[in-house]
Amino acid sequence: MGRFYDVIVVGSGPAGTFSALELAKSGLKVLILEKGDDLLKRKCPALEKQVPCVKCKSCSITSGFGGAGAFSDGKVTLSAEVGGNLKDFLDQKELDKLFQKVIEKLMEFGAPQRIYGLDSEKVDKVYYEAQRYGLEIVKSKVLHMGTDKGYLVLKSIREAIESAKIELHVNEPVEDLIIKNSVVEGVKTSKGEYFGKFVILAPGRSGAEWLFKMSKKYGIKTDTNPVDIGVRIEVPAEVLKKLTEVFYEPKIIYYSKSFDDKVRTFCVNPYGVVVPEMTEDVVTVNGHSYSYPVSNNTNLAILVSTKFTHPFNDPVSYGKSIARLANLLTGSVIIQRYGDLKLGRRSTEDRIKRSIVKPTYLGAVPGDLSFALPYRYLSSIKEMLDQLDKLVPGMADDGNLIYGVEVKFYSARIRVTKDFEIDGIQNLFVAGDGAGITRGLSQAAVSGILVATSILRRL
């Protein structure tokens, strides 16, 4: 016989933990099931030893308590315009209240008090200058914790989970759902069956593929989300200081003239480091920054968004195929001088050593990204770098380092009601990035609160 709970939560990222904590306040019996390690056991050998990714069974960068953001630089963007689609469910006023609630909770757990993007005069000055070069800066406030302080915040959240008597099972992936007569009754893992009145699926980005499989199995309707494919560039921190001092993470959008593709900056890490991450069987690249400088470089992603139309509806597999090709070429993350990329030649260890910008991830292998990335993407990326170079001179210098590939896998968007209940299956809810509803820490946490509120209304 399985065990019974009021609510079962699949996943312990921001969506899962914020929903569980909200539910536990009402005295409900809550179980969290997490496929990865507990927080203190999450370790990445590739980062610790500065070697190529060793392809752990469960990637500690993307899986485990705290979700994919546990080792990120902990940026919380307070805007409905970036990081998800919650504006489809709530108006701006309601969202602002919930963003504030998330910020207050994070500060209770030890997050810093400073918020970037509040100086409207400086924001407007850069905003209008960027427009001259065809660049749109998304105005948003950002709370930055840093990888180090973000980890301490997660430790506090982990302690709060324990204090609230929420049951947490780690290293226990959910294999299947228990659904009868269009009503969810629980879940199955390798260790047994668990039954609950309500189930929340919040598996995060690393669980997107699993959730897509579940949707196919149970006839859950989905909509296709875009896939973002590109590179991570590492430049001297001084180059981007004009922007990072105002916004910390400037979010900039550009539409390429060659293909009219949407190109954008993502995950800017002042004085940070480049890191590998593994999703299922592919190694991609990411970046982190801390609450204090750990390098003289700033790294950021330049991503091209593609929304596929009928008949193709599997953008995740498309993104993975490009990442696999890059892995095939070097067995790891590829690193290349921007000057070499422009000349159409692969970088060598010698050329990387001569570069003014010193790499922060030594496990990357010199190569040629043009053998992995389609011409369309490279052309659009180069266009945006040329325009950024006009706003912040130095962005398109030959000595800058390009890492690849970076892919953001946004799962198929699960069709839900206004309460985040899956259309057609009673008492089964979704939240966070894995469901394709959000794409970042703040909106994921808000979605968790919203799902918990929907469940509490039914009790």
> Is the domain of 238 the same as that of 217?
no
**Confidence band (pLDDT; 50, 70, 90) for 55?**
confident
> Is the domain of 259 the same as that of 403?
yes
Model confidence over 281-311: pLDDT tens digits? 899 999 999 888 899 999 999 999 998 888 8
Distance of CA 127 to the CA centre of its chain: 25
What pLDDT, on the 0 to 100 scale, is given for residue 167? 98
**Residue range 220-233: average pLDDT?**
92
What pLDDT, on the 0 to 100 scale, is given for residue 384? 99
User: What is the Cα–Cα distance from 410 to 412, expressed in whole angstroms?
Assistant: 7
User: What is the Cα–Cα distance from 41 to 57, expressed in whole angstroms?
Assistant: 14
Share of the chain above pLDDT 70, in %: 99
What pLDDT, on the 0 to 100 scale, is given for residue 146? 85
State the Cα angle at 436 between 291 and 453, rounded to 5°: 80
User: What is the Cα–Cα distance from 280 to 319, expressed in whole angstroms?
Assistant: 12
**Residue range 332-360: average pLDDT?**
96
Q: Say if residue 411's pLDDT is above 70.
A: no
Model confidence over 84-103: pLDDT tens digits? 899 999 998 999 999 999 99
> Is the domain of 215 the same as that of 360?
no
> Is the domain of 320 the same as that of 442?
no
What pLDDT, on the 0 to 100 scale, is given for residue 344? 95
Q: Please provide the average confidence, as pLDDT, over all residues in the chain.
A: 93
What pLDDT, on the 0 to 100 scale, is given for residue 75? 85
Q: Say if residue 312's pLDDT is above 80.
A: yes
Q: By the 8 A CB rule, do 28 and 169 touch?
A: no
End-to-end CA distance of the chain: give it in Å, rounded. Answer: 25
Q: By the 8 A CB rule, do 430 and 454 touch?
A: no
Q: Which of 408, 425, 441 is the last residue of a domain?
A: 408
> Is the domain of 8 the same as that of 70?
yes
User: What is the Cα–Cα distance from 245 to 248, expressed in whole angstroms?
Assistant: 6
> Is the domain of 234 the same as that of 335?
yes
451 is written with which tokens?
A: 């799902």
* Residue 117 φ/ψ region, left for φ over 0, alpha for ψ in the -120 to 50 degree band, beta for the rest: left
What pLDDT, on the 0 to 100 scale, is given for residue 298? 98
Instruction: From 374, 400, 407, 366, select the one nearest 386 (Cα to Cα).
Output: 400
**Residue range 375-392: average pLDDT?**
98
**Confidence band (pLDDT; 50, 70, 90) for 314?**
confident
What pLDDT, on the 0 to 100 scale, is given for residue 444? 96
State the sign of the Cα–Cα–Cα–Cα dihedral 186, 40, 18, 291.
negative
> Is the domain of 323 the same as that of 254?
yes
Lowest-confidence segment of 55-59, 213-217, 434-438 by average pLDDT: 55-59
> Is the domain of 45 the same as that of 179?
yes
**Confidence band (pLDDT; 50, 70, 90) for 46?**
confident
What pLDDT, on the 0 to 100 scale, is given for residue 2? 62
Domain region containing 362:
227-408
> Is the domain of 397 the same as that of 443?
no
Which CATH number fits the domain that encloses residue 125? 3.50.50.60
* pTM confidence score: 0.87
What pLDDT, on the 0 to 100 scale, is given for residue 343? 96
User: What is the Cα–Cα distance from 367 to 383, expressed in whole angstroms?
Assistant: 21
> Is the domain of 259 the same as that of 329?
yes
Lowest-confidence segment of 269-283, 345-359, 419-433 by average pLDDT: 269-283
CA separation, residue 448 to residues 175, 327, 434, 437 (Å): 22, 35, 12, 11
**Confidence band (pLDDT; 50, 70, 90) for 359?**
very high
What pLDDT, on the 0 to 100 scale, is given for residue 148? 87
What pLDDT, on the 0 to 100 scale, is given for residue 53? 81
Q: By the 8 A CB rule, do 75 and 142 touch?
A: yes
Model confidence over 151-181: pLDDT tens digits? 999 999 999 999 999 999 999 999 999 999 9
What pLDDT, on the 0 to 100 scale, is given for residue 113? 85
State the sign of the Cα–Cα–Cα–Cα dihedral 310, 312, 313, 319.
negative
- Strand order of the β-sheet with 136-138 is 136-138, 251-255, 262-269, 297-306, 227-236, 401-408, 334-337, 365-366
Domains: count for the chain: 2
Helix axes 237-247, 120-131, angle to 10 degrees: 130
**Confidence band (pLDDT; 50, 70, 90) for 348?**
very high
Instruction: From 191, 96, 110, 101, select the one nearest 150 (Cα to Cα).
Output: 110
> Is the domain of 207 the same as that of 240?
no
Burial class (CB in 10 A: 0-12, 13-18, 19+), 169: middle
> Is the domain of 18 the same as that of 84?
yes
User: What is the Cα–Cα distance from 268 to 250, expressed in whole angstroms?
Assistant: 7
